[in-house]
Structure 1
């Protein structure tokens, strides 16, 4: 059990930081305080967090830190306006972002399929025809379909790499930039990138230009930071207009739910609309991006105090421009170093060497489980779509993406209900809920690897509905063993892992699927199941560490109470 952390002592040397009040990546205030040691008793397990093995939410965010040097802020009409506009911008952006992502796979499939005999393989809306095993010349329909899917998976892989790898630098830069020049720039750049991407897609589809031009679209979007930078901006404004505590965590949960449901809705309407062509949903997506951009520029108030005071105007002077740029770059580099330092240096001398090692061990285990989960969750979507298009399932693209959108929507509703039951009725800790999610993922991937008909695909979706709860639970557990002052560095590191994971792990999954197409396309899902089994073992070890520390604190508390009674 971790004792209170000394937050005056950073993991690295003190440096100027942009992660001040309402910082861009943290969603927490930076607190500079030294808490006195507290005597804890087993009766205070709820306060000490029997759930996570560390400080309770009341300490981590359930209420304002009374010892913090940050003064309480008053929020008025501007704050309420910011919340309303933020909701509208979030919904508009993700309704505009999703269509091109949905259309990419079937559009590439159709363009490549045109090079083959249409009597054997028609399009993404009809990937299989009767008598797939009949030979046409020297090649059967199944062999042609396998070749098409190999080419589609390769091109799709390179397009994703273009986006995710290139976007890492803008993601790191936009945080400090928005702290210096205002939050709006954090919205405008990703929205503009996505808007221009939709324009390029429309031109390529309408004029039947080479598919290779899509690389330009994805590179432009990456320069704006793509959806990851947009999420960072959303949570930055959320932090600016809410107090630390339940109000902030509630709004963060609302924004996460909104972006997920908006993305699922966009996936459903695009899937239904694209059966009549790809152009109209892309035009609709372009309009939604324009709406988001207009609302950001003209309606969203500036919520960051630095940008609204003399700091930003002073920074705009010619003699300070170079220094301001270097300060931003230094902050980005310091964020990277602090993100790494979280996992090799605790920085709290009050813990003692053994206590520090236990805390670091918990952090590293949580990080390893997080990486393994990202490897599966971010890689499965693309190969699952190709798997469902392939014989013997032969789903039309409309069915593939409608099913995916409905599954996401219903899964989140079911997760919320299940979490309520687990945490309120059964008093389950976040780390225990993570185990349920990991087991759900293992069963889902194992079932999908054997799927040969629609019913088996639906069964895999049902048993895997808790999969999406793993990452939020891991964030919660990991944040509970990192002190307030370093929450921003931790979240920045997790964001980079997600962006890198989306590219690196998707590449590996794509290559495995490519290699196994000819003999067993479901092999990749067995690999996913094995990865999650490793994550399950690590999560069990992590739970044992948390439980041991909790028991140790209870024993120490009882001994302390006994000594007090004896002395009295």
Structure 2
């Protein structure tokens, strides 16, 4: 059996039970005002009388990811503390800022940060290669496989973590789980597939808000998972919450298989293991795609600049996010599982507040200015985090970040509008590749920076994050000013 037959069989298995393909120009949104090439709705095995989209897929997958992320960090902290004989949660230094920090605490923080880095490197370095492969393949083979395969990989990761916890194996075995998930695409493939699906079924006018709704699903699921995870871990430990991680990953895969209709025409000859998918991504950015070939050099530059903005914003977001739990666990905050859960929930609540703010601001502001408001919100919150030494100040920082997620849906939408409808799969494959790189670079930089700056300023990584966010702020404002000036010149000349 050759490579082409294997890919075809895999695609047929994932689409078993599909009925006759019906051309659909409205998709699940019902808002289409422009035909898009190759968009079809293929019914899943169980027909649904109501429009079904990908929001539940992303909700369940994000719930699984958010439930396990802070718990795995806390588990690493506890295991490393146990190995080193550190019991800092019951020392006096947490309530007294004048007490010199325990050297063992610094060692525990450093080792935990390093293990977080190793796990991120192990997973995302593999997904960096796999995500663009799956994303571009989905443009021909359909979106549903990109929802199912990575969810199965996340389920395998949860199984490995459970085995480590049950048998008290060395934490190095966590790397095996991360690598299995990375080889099957990891969460970034699901994220890329969902946004590509929304681009398939939405029009240009509604796309920014539809993308924001999808990101709000990330926030809602993350908020619920954070609250549940913190309380559950305090009551029953680590093992039972990780069973829920496994269950939600499997539920997301099952939902995708049974209920999500296909949004693109499936090409029976589509091959998974081919260099064509990576070449499609490179062609998009080297020429600007079909639109760039006619739109000229400026169009290609905008594609690169908005991608750079997206990279910086997402790298800061995910890089700094991994430090919140470490920052809160250690002195002078010394939060327990409940407060850590509430803090993570407050962070994810910003997804919903950002959605509401985006909807309101779109009534009077262009999308670019909405993104700038979101970046200012993020910068001010990070500055407060950098000096937070009390619980009240830490939650003040979370409050100031209430619009910090308004920038990413605008950037995704702008990138989507820069390419032809037939190139959405290649675009979101490239965005997924950039997002994987964001995880890799953000995790590497911030998990290395945190232990290196503990001796002079514990919150320096947050201050550093606020400073580099000035880069996308300047780029977006400059491009918007240039666009407005060009529109005024064109309207005057006409």
TM-score by length of 1: 0.73
Residue equivalent to 2:5: none
User: Alignment partner for residue 198 of structure 1, among 146, 158, 162?
Assistant: 158
**Retained in 1: the 8 A contact 2:114–2:447?**
yes
**Residues 390-446 of structure 1, C-alpha deviations (whole Å, 9 max, x = no match):** 21111124312321123312x23322332233222xx20011111111222221121
Residue equivalent to 2:367: 430
**Residues 302-355 of structure 1, C-alpha deviations (whole Å, 9 max, x = no match):** 626754xxx63xx5xxxxxxxx54x75143123221232255996444x5xxxx
**Residues 165-205 of structure 1, C-alpha deviations (whole Å, 9 max, x = no match):** 11122212223544555544323311211111111111111
**Retained in 2: the 8 A contact 1:127–1:396?**
no
Residue equivalent to 1:121: 88
**Secondary structure of the corresponding residue to residue 119 of structure 2:** helix
The answer to which of 86-95 and 532-541 deviates more is 86-95
Residue equivalent to 2:190: 230
For 1:155 and 1:130, locate their aligned partners in 2 and report how far apart those are by CA, in whole Å: 27
For 2:212 and 2:148, locate their aligned partners in 1 and report how far apart those are by CA, in whole Å: 23
The answer to which of 259-268 and 78-87 deviates more is 78-87
CA distance change for structure 1 residues 293 and 396 in 2, over 3 Å: closer, same or farther? Answer: same
User: Alignment partner for residue 167 of structure 2, among 204, 207, 210?
Assistant: 207
1:146 and 2:115 correspond? no
Residue equivalent to 1:36: none
**Retained in 1: the 8 A contact 2:164–2:170?**
yes
Residue equivalent to 1:420: 359
**Retained in 1: the 8 A contact 2:164–2:171?**
yes
**Residues 98-139 of structure 1, C-alpha deviations (whole Å, 9 max, x = no match):** 322221110000011113344x5248xx896566876xxxxx
**Retained in 2: the 8 A contact 1:127–1:395?**
no
User: Alignment partner for residue 508 of structure 1, among 439, 445, 450?
Assistant: 445
Written as runs of structure 1 = structure 2, the 5 A alignment for 1:449-488 is 449-488=386-425
Residue equivalent to 1:57: none
For 2:467 and 2:490, locate their aligned partners in 1 and report how far apart those are by CA, in whole Å: 35
Deviation at residue 361 of structure 1 after TM alignment: 3.9
Residue equivalent to 1:264: 223
Deviation at residue 148 of structure 1 after TM alignment: 0.7
User: Alignment partner for residue 93 of structure 1, among 48, 61, 65?
Assistant: 61
Deviation at residue 237 of structure 1 after TM alignment: 5.2
Deviation at residue 371 of structure 1 after TM alignment: 2.2
User: Alignment partner for residue 110 of structure 1, among 78, 81, 90?
Assistant: 78
**Retained in 1: the 8 A contact 2:204–2:417?**
no
User: Alignment partner for residue 331 of structure 2, among 379, 391, 404?
Assistant: 391
For 1:507 and 1:71, locate their aligned partners in 2 and report how far apart those are by CA, in whole Å: 39
For 2:196 and 2:68, locate their aligned partners in 1 and report how far apart those are by CA, in whole Å: 26
For 1:187 and 1:478, locate their aligned partners in 2 and report how far apart those are by CA, in whole Å: 22
**Which structure has the bigger radius of gyration?**
1
CA distance change for structure 1 residues 266 and 128 in 2, over 3 Å: closer, same or farther? Answer: farther
**Secondary structure of the corresponding residue to residue 114 of structure 1:** helix
Deviation at residue 164 of structure 1 after TM alignment: 1.0
Residue equivalent to 1:332: 277
User: Alignment partner for residue 145 of structure 2, among 173, 185, 194?
Assistant: 185
1:275 and 2:234 correspond? yes
Residue equivalent to 1:379: 319
Deviation at residue 219 of structure 1 after TM alignment: 0.7
**Residues 5-52 of structure 1, C-alpha deviations (whole Å, 9 max, x = no match):** xxxxxxxxxxxxxxxxxxxxxxxx9x9xxxxxxxxxxxxxxxxxxxxx
**Secondary structure of the corresponding residue to residue 88 of structure 2:** coil
**Retained in 2: the 8 A contact 1:366–1:478?**
yes
For 2:312 and 2:57, locate their aligned partners in 1 and report how far apart those are by CA, in whole Å: 32
**Residues 254-287 of structure 1, C-alpha deviations (whole Å, 9 max, x = no match):** 4443343123211221111111300110112222
CA distance change for structure 1 residues 83 and 217 in 2, over 3 Å: closer, same or farther? Answer: farther
User: Alignment partner for residue 218 of structure 1, among 175, 178, 198?
Assistant: 178
Deviation at residue 78 of structure 1 after TM alignment: 6.9
For 1:90 and 1:420, locate their aligned partners in 2 and report how far apart those are by CA, in whole Å: 21
**Retained in 2: the 8 A contact 1:182–1:302?**
no
Deviation at residue 162 of structure 1 after TM alignment: 0.9
**Retained in 2: the 8 A contact 1:445–1:526?**
yes
**Retained in 1: the 8 A contact 2:208–2:413?**
no
Deviation at residue 507 of structure 1 after TM alignment: 0.5
Deviation at residue 220 of structure 1 after TM alignment: 0.8
Residue equivalent to 2:8: none
Across the two proteins, how many residue pairs are aligned to each other? 466
